Amino acid sequence: MLTILILGGTAEARHLAAELNTLPDVTVISSLAGRTSTPLLPHGRVRIGGFGGPSGLAAFLRAEHIGAIIDATHPFAAVISANAVDAAGRSGVPLLVLRRPGWISREGDDWRRVPTVADAAAALPRIGRRALLTTGRQTLAAFAALDDVWFLVRTVEPPAPPVPAQMTVILDRGPFTRASERALIETHAVDVVVTKDSGSPSTAAKLDAARDLSIPVLIVDRPPMPTDAESVPTVPDAVAWVVRHSARR
């Protein structure tokens, strides 16, 4: 039996757990950070909470006799991805990164790419005054000093201070439709969308809506991928990797 640890917190991680649980000689443990109060749970065994850094993760790999790790975390979860490289290296456990591609702009898009959330906050007042902000509740502090911008903040969990002074919060995790995103932007007279390049299909409709309504999108680029690990873009690719790996054992 090959035990796979999936580092999760994404739709892909849940789909992968469901797929791998159908394989005869594979058992799966999915790991979540525990950030949300009502997480969407993957199929099969799930553990929740941090490991205690790379050494804690390495100890978990040993204790659970993990045969391979798949890092299917969000493209912006850079710390756990680096920890996975470190722990896999020191434990000799094969590691695969499952990372969906970023969004690609189309004709009619007005995208302004920035390297970090702080850069987005610095650029925002020159671009718009009423922002739909979907960069996540942990990023709100970066926008807290922008008193001249009104924010429509959409997060999964309620944000905690520091937050912008002018702010309305919508709690929702999607998926969203092009029509509902257009309606949201029009109802609130949003003149700029601020987002991270998650690449998620379930949250891409705001990009279509922004194009439809000719408003700019301020997009935070992804942090660098771990360079020491093999990576694939889709769940079927990751399943194929596991099947190959399982056959070689």
Q: How far is the CB of 27 from ligand NAP (least distance, A)?
A: 18
Structure tokens at 102: 């970023």
Which position among 23, 78, 141, 243 is part of the footprint of ligand NAP (CB under 6 A)?
78
- Name the segment binding ligand NAP (CB under 6 A); options: 76-84, 89-97, 103-111, 176-184: 76-84
Termini Cα distance of the chain: 10
Kindly tell me the sign of the dihedral angle through the C-alpha atoms of 195, 146, 151, 34: positive
Whether the Cβ atoms of residue 74 and residue 9 lie closer than 8 Å to each other: yes
Determine the residue with CB nearest ligand NAP. 50
46 makes contact with ligand NAP (CB under 6 A): no
Which position among 5, 20, 31, 67 is part of the footprint of ligand NAP (CB under 6 A)?
31
Q: Is 214 left (phi over 0), alpha (psi -120 to 50) or beta?
A: left
Residues in the chain: 249
User: DSSP letter at 22?
Assistant: T
Distances (CA, A) of 175 to 2, 33, 110, 115, 204: 33, 21, 23, 26, 9
User: How many positions of this chain bind ligand NAP (CB under 6 A)?
Assistant: 23
Whether the Cβ atoms of residue 49 and residue 78 lie closer than 8 Å to each other: no
- Name the segment binding ligand NAP (CB under 6 A); options: 28-36, 145-153, 172-180, 240-248: 28-36
The interface with ligand NAP within residues 90-149 (CB under 6 A) comprises: 136
33 makes contact with ligand NAP (CB under 6 A): yes
Residue with tokens 């996540």: 136
The nearer residue to ligand NAP, 52 or 158, going by C-beta atoms, is 52
Which position among 51, 111, 143, 176 is part of the footprint of ligand NAP (CB under 6 A)?
51
Whether the Cβ atoms of residue 88 and residue 226 lie closer than 8 Å to each other: no
Which position among 7, 70, 133, 194 is part of the footprint of ligand NAP (CB under 6 A)?
7
Which position among 2, 17, 66, 76 is part of the footprint of ligand NAP (CB under 6 A)?
76
73 makes contact with ligand NAP (CB under 6 A): yes
The nearer residue to ligand NAP, 35 or 245, going by C-beta atoms, is 35
What whole-number distance in Å separates Cα of residue 192 and Cα of residue 96? Answer: 36
Contact set with ligand NAP (CB under 6 A): 7-10, 31-33, 35, 50-53, 56-57, 73-74, 76-80, 83, 136
